[in-house]
Amino acid sequence: MLDCWLSLLKQYRLIAVIRASSQEIGEKMAYIASQGGIKLIEVTWNSYQPERLVYHLRQILPDCYVGVGTILTMAQLKNAIEAQAQFAFSPHFDQDLLTFAHYHHIPFNPGTLSPTEIINAFDGGARAVKVFPVKALGGVDYIKSLQGPMNQFPLIPTGGVTMAETIAFLDAGAIAVGLSGDLFPTDLVRAGKWEEMGDRIYQLMQKINRLPQ
């Protein structure tokens, strides 16, 4: 998985970030995302029983790649690997977490924000980094501003990204984008409007699939 991670990001471009209050909700989010064409699914570690959800999604969504996010500690990372997570994200850069994950052939994507943090993460062995929270530093314009001196670094903007901005982030040079709240709006989840969410996801993925690789 580690060796093909960049290829998967370039191919699929969008990561569905699931933060679920129950396993049932988490399963529905993941299923709707997969039906809409998303193949990279991230379960945040502050979801309800994330180990159980990750393991279950690995069984019922064999065509998807299921990973974890919001990994803060070594214990969480070890539990995620035991649950068969295929990739991991964290909101910060921790060399020990990155080294441990890569030793187990799990792509680990540390959270970074400044140019110094980005370069330090790649110097530490990261294959791609999460730029978080990207909205706080200008969103699409911030990713554009990094391209001149740092266009060789695969960046994944997350944190306040909307569906409407996704294409702009990819056009600005991001290798992929992480979407959470706007992918699964709270009001639609509460109302059980899964078909509406699925339609929105499908339409976005159609636009993404038309982009040049």
Question: pLDDT tens digits, residue range 125-168?
Answer: 999 999 999 999 999 999 999 998 889 999 999 999 999 999 99
Do 174 and 150 contact (CB within 8 A), yes or no? no
H helix runs in 37-192, sequence order? 50-60, 74-82, 95-103, 115-123, 140-150, 166-171, 186-191
Q: How far is CA 101 from CA 16, 66, 74, 120, 126, in A?
A: 21, 15, 9, 17, 10
pLDDT at 148: 85
Residue 176 phi, psi (nearest 5): -160, 170
The pTM score is: 0.96
- Ordered domains of the chain (ranges, CATH): 5-205 (3.20.20.70)
Do 141 and 134 contact (CB within 8 A), yes or no? no
Q: How far is CA 74 from CA 82, 90, 100, in A?
A: 12, 11, 8
- List of the chain residues with pLDDT < 50: none
